Amino acid sequence: MVFIKSDVYYFTARTYSHIESMSKVKGPLALKKIGIEQETKNSDKIVIKTHFGAEENTRYLRPSYIRFLCDYIKELGGIPFVAESCGWGVPGTGGEYGGRANEEEYLEIALKHGFTEETMGAPLLMLDGPDGIDYEIQKINGKKFNEVLVAGRLREFKHLIIASHFKGHSGSGFGGAIKNLGIGCVSKGGKTQAHMGKTFKFAFDACVSECKECLEICPTKALTKNEKKELKFDKDKCRYCYMCKSVCKNKVIDIGSSTPEEFILQMVDNAKGVVDYYGKDRIYYLNYAIDITWQCDCCGGSDIPIIPDIGILSSKDPVAVDQACIDLAHLSLMNPYSILSEIKNLPLRNEKCNWFSYIPRFNPENNEIDLNYNGNVSKQWERQLIAAEEIGLGTRDYNLIEVKVKNE
């Protein structure tokens, strides 16, 4: 069997003057290196999928990184759009994803974080529609799933740029390009399924006859009550937003649960569904490996980064670009002021120290984060990469091509 390595371009975060700017120069150049210029025709609609950050998060990508990508797309003759997707839960409640449950409330957070149509010079939108229920079903032969709820508005765009903040994640070990596909480019229900699996069962006998909460929240009238006040579920009308589950206080609706291992496999399955639906040739990956916290941008904690900034990496292969970020991160010194410094006997630099093996992790037994002061090793980061390679998303084998901007 012949293994072909994927090219990954690397632009260091070290910058001596404005001609090496990370936002205005290196970001667009990283995109150019992976061929967007040749593929862009006049008036092509190009969508940049990024993350606007949870309300209290301060380590999300600064808006100017995305603004300069929009400007570059316009220079090429394309029409840029900036996108996110709706979070899990019910609007107005904070929700499991923290007040980002539909377009209206997520755009409010985007505004607070500096992402607006004015600052981007491009429209903002939710890829799964204003309520998170616009999706296309993609069949896959996945590790856990055989179909994926791909965010429906992807259908409108010629090219997709996955602009990811590379950082840790308490469930999947890290978040980068794969996670931006598997969580960021699926519908609201697709996110829930990644976290919980596809269980969706009703204990009809437990339903309280006078209650109408789920009927009122259901956007498609898939839930009704008959004259005897018995709950009825119409599968054909359901758009899998799982808001009924969020409002029911009586344990009628069971959406299952998943181990961290299952979460990773389900997220990777979702990512495969997105790529199979959209077409791998039309997707471009940019990883901004800066502000590398142990938490993801969905969390409000925004702790001190665990290692120094690395730079921008770009590739046509989501697995290769994530693997390259991990490898560079593991060659780095640990930040002596970060949470890793609180683990006894963990040296500042040690070839055997894969920093992402030590970050805090979600403990499903008590539903809390284990801050891992004992320094137990967890290989969730590696599990994600192995699963992604096994399912055919890309290769962990890559050529790292460092680009010196002064020479360009």
Supply the minimum distance, in Å, between the C-beta of residue 28 and ligand SF4. 40
Supply the minimum distance, in Å, between the C-beta of residue 144 and ligand SF4. 19
Supply the minimum distance, in Å, between the C-beta of residue 296 and ligand SF4. 25
Supply the minimum distance, in Å, between the C-beta of residue 43 and ligand SF4. 36
Supply the minimum distance, in Å, between the C-beta of residue 245 and ligand SF4. 7
Burial of 141 (C-beta count, 10 Å sphere; 0-12/13-18/19+)? exposed
Token pair recorded at residue 348:
């500042």
Q: Between 41 and 221, name the residue whose CB sits nearer to ligand SF4.
A: 221
| Residues of this chain that bind ligand SF4 (CB under 6 A) | 207-208, 211-214, 217-220, 222-223, 231, 238-244, 247-248, 250, 252-253
Treating both helix axes as pointing N-terminal to C-terminal, what angle do 260-278 and 380-390 enclose, rounded to 10 degrees? 40
In whole angstroms, how far apart are CA 169 and each of 53, 260, 290, 323, 338? 14, 11, 14, 15, 15
Q: Between 7 and 136, name the residue whose CB sits nearer to ligand SF4.
A: 136
Burial of 352 (C-beta count, 10 Å sphere; 0-12/13-18/19+)? exposed
Q: Between 150 and 319, name the residue whose CB sits nearer to ligand SF4.
A: 150
Q: Which amino acid is at 8?
A: V
User: Kind and range of the H or E element at 370?
Assistant: strand 368-370
DSSP assignment, residue 200?
-
Supply the minimum distance, in Å, between the C-beta of residue 225 and ligand SF4. 7
- Coil, helix or strand for 63? helix
Q: Between 80 and 129, name the residue whose CB sits nearer to ligand SF4.
A: 129
Token pair recorded at residue 85:
């997707």
CB 65 within 8 A of CB 222: no
DSSP per-residue string spanning 379-404? -HHHHHHHHHHHTTS--S-EEEEE--
Q: Between 199 and 376, name the residue whose CB sits nearer to ligand SF4.
A: 199
Supply the minimum distance, in Å, between the C-beta of residue 97 and ligand SF4. 16
Token pair recorded at residue 265:
């496999």
Q: Between 222 and 326, name the residue whose CB sits nearer to ligand SF4.
A: 222
Sequence-distant (≥ 6) Cβ neighbours of residue 320 within 8 angstroms: 5, 6, 7, 8, 394, 395, 396, 397, 398
Q: Between 242 and 358, name the residue whose CB sits nearer to ligand SF4.
A: 242
Supply the minimum distance, in Å, between the C-beta of residue 234 and ligand SF4. 8
**Alpha-helical runs (H) found in 165-292:** 177-182, 188-196, 213-217, 243-247, 260-278
Q: Between 118 and 210, name the residue whose CB sits nearer to ligand SF4.
A: 210
User: Kind and range of the H or E element at 33?
Assistant: helix 27-33
Supply the minimum distance, in Å, between the C-beta of residue 98 and ligand SF4. 20
Q: Between 202 and 362, name the residue whose CB sits nearer to ligand SF4.
A: 202
Supply the minimum distance, in Å, between the C-beta of residue 210 and ligand SF4. 9
Spell 146-162 as b/e; 16+ CB within 10 A means b: eebbbbbbbeebebbbb
Q: Between 205 and 365, name the residue whose CB sits nearer to ligand SF4.
A: 205
Integer Cα distance of 275 and 404 in angstroms: 31
